[in-house]
Amino acid sequence: MYAVHQDLFGETDLKFSGELNDNIDVLFLCLGHGESKKFLEQNKIADNIKIIDLANDFRLTLQSEIGKRKFIYGLPELNVEKIKSAQNIANPGCFATAIQLGLLPLAKAGLLNDVYTTGITGSTGAGQSLSTSSHFSWRANNIQAYKTLTHQHLGEIGESLLQLQPGSDIDLSFVPWRGDFTRGIFVSSTLRCDMELSELYPLFENFYTGHPFTHVSRDPIFLKQVVNTNKAVIQLEKAGSKLVVHSAIDNLLKGASGQAVQNMNLLFGLEETAGLILKANYF
C-alpha cells in the first residue's frame, strides 16, 4: 500500500488487491459519478457486504435502489439512526455537506425561505477530471465561478431540507467558486430571518448536540480550522433581517472519505469518531 501512498511508509505492510473478494465486511466505491451503478450492474457483490458509495449515483430517493440494494443518504447529522441500521450508504457530496450543515437547524425550525449561497473550494474539489483549471499555474492568484445555479449537489440538498421542512417552497440559489488553495470548502448562505442571534445560536447548538464533528462557533471561523480534519464549523452573522450562515469543512474528509469512515463506524456499531480524531493543518 505504501508503494502507492508513500506517506504510509513504515506504517503498514498491507497490499492492494485487484480482485473482488467476498471475505470483506464493507466495500467503498470511490469511482467517478455514474460509474458505481455500472460497477454494481457488472459485478456480483455478496448480499452480506455493506457498500458505501462516494459518488452521486444513489443519493437521490428515486435513484437510491439497484437490484435488492437500497441506499440510505449518509449525512449523520440528518440520518444517524437510519445509517446505523442500513446495509448501503450513499455518501453526501462535499458542497452538499457544507451547505446542509449550515441550513439543517433552520429547516428543522421551519425558518427557511429563499436562500442565496456562495461557496469556494480548493483544487482538490471542483471536478475529478484533469482540466486547465485544476493546474496550479492556472489557480495561482486566480478565482472563477463554475456551474452557476446548476451544481449537481442541489438535488440532494433540496431533498434533505424538505425532509425537515416538508411542504415548503425553498428556493436555493448556489454559486460555487474555484479557489487558489488546495483543499477545503467555505460556504456562506444568506436568507431572511427575524430571530436574533441570541435565539439562533442555541437553536444550532441544540441541533448538533451529540454530533461529535459539527461545532458551532460564536467567533469568526476560517478554513485552516478544518483542513485535515473531519470537522465542520459553523458561525452566524446578522444585519437587520438578513442572516448569514458560514460553514467550513475539508472537502476530502468531512466532504468525502472522512464522512465515509464516519458512516462505516456507525454501520458497524463502532465509536463514531474512531480513526477520525485529526488535528487541523493550522500552520
Q: How far apart are CA 59 and CA 272, in angstroms?
A: 21
Q: How far is CA 160 from the centre of its chain?
A: 12
Asked if 94 is an active-site residue, the reply is yes
* 8 A C-beta contact, residue 60 and residue 37: no
- Buried b / exposed e along 86-124 (16+ C-beta atoms within 10 A): bebbbbbbbbbbbbbbbbbbbbbbebbeebebebbbbbb
Closest C-alpha among 269, 271, 262 to residue 97:
262
Q: What is the phi/psi pair of residue 205, to 5°? A: -65, -40
**Amino acid in position 185:** I
CB 94 within 8 A of CB 152: no
Q: Which three cell numbers stand for residue 196?
A: 436574533
Q: Which of 78, 94, 98, 236 is catalytic?
A: 94
CB 46 within 8 A of CB 22: yes
Phi, psi of 224 (to 5 degrees): -65, -15
Burial of 63 (0-12, 13-18, 19+ CB in 10 A): middle
- In whole angstroms, what is the distance from residue 120 CA to residue 65 CA? 32
Distance CA 260, CA 93 (A): 11
- State the residue for C-alpha cell 435513484: 63
Residues annotated as catalytic (active site), given as ranges: 94
